[in-house]
Amino acid sequence: MQCDVTSYTSQLHLFRTAISLFGKIDIVVANAGISIPRDPFAFSSIPGNGDEGDAEIEKEFPTAEIDVNLKGCLFTSRIGLFYLRKNKPTSAKSKDDIRAGERAEGGDFAGDVGGDLILVSSIAGFKESTGLATYTASKHGVLGLLRGVRIQAGREGVRVNAVCPWMTSEFLFLFRVCLRDFYICLSGVRWEE
């Protein structure tokens, strides 16, 4: 089924179709993302005191990365949380049955009732990345969304997490370094080697 993630109506139709086919939704992954390798802050000529460079600043730069990466994620998260919150408990779990760390701050145990919302951000969402200003801003916004909904969703039985991939030829080493930095960033706890 085709879905335009930048269209709220299109996403709503996708979720309603899934509900009609499967009866409920357990996991929502906001995975759509694009990168346009053009930096809107790089100009071919640097304006001086005259008119040079003025034509370039007159053109509005494309915001497709914001529309897909952030707006689409906001739509997916809003609709997804709506349906995940409707899920009923499948079994009574005691606090002893739940691993430590699954407890949302000040709330109930996340994920044991509603399900999971997984947001796909990027290492660029919390690391500086030259030439990727719009992409970085969009993926940083996804992490802001995570921080904005995580506690309340956890109180309602929905676990919210983010995955932050990156591209590299030395993937395993950098993944470990970035995972450590991301863990420290979100938890404030020092990573134990």
User: pLDDT digit string (tens) for 62-78?
Assistant: 899 999 999 999 999 99
Domain count, the chain: 1
Whether pLDDT at 183 is above 60: no
Report if residue 162 sits inside a domain.
Answer: yes
Q: Is residue 41 a part of any domain in this protein?
A: yes
Does the pTM surpass 0.85? The reply is no
The answer to whether residue 94 sits within a structural domain is: no
Contact between 84 and 117 under an 8 Å Cβ cutoff? The reply is yes
Domain-embedded: residue 185: no
- Whether residue 130 lies inside any domain: the answer is yes
155 pLDDT above the threshold of 60? yes
Domain extent at residue 147: 8-87+101-166
Whether 71 maps to a domain, the answer reads yes
Read off the CATH number of the domain in which 50 is found: 3.40.50.720
Q: Give the mean model confidence (pLDDT) for residues 42-53.
A: 65
Q: What is the token pair recorded at 101?
A: 């760390």
Active site residue ranges: 121, 135, 139
Full DSSP string of 59-71:
SPPP-HHIIIIII
- Whole-angstrom CA distances from 40 to 86, 89, 130 are 42, 48, 12
Give the pLDDT mean for 171-176.
58
Residue 43 has pLDDT above 60, yes or no: yes
User: Token pair of 3, please?
Assistant: 């879905």
Is 58 part of any domain? yes
On whether residue 95 sits in a domain, the answer given is no
- Residue-wise DSSP of 105-139: TTS-BTTSSSEEEEEE--GGGTS--TT-HHHHHHH
Please answer whether residues 109 and 157 qualify as being in contact, where contact means their C-beta atoms are separated by less than 8 angstroms: yes
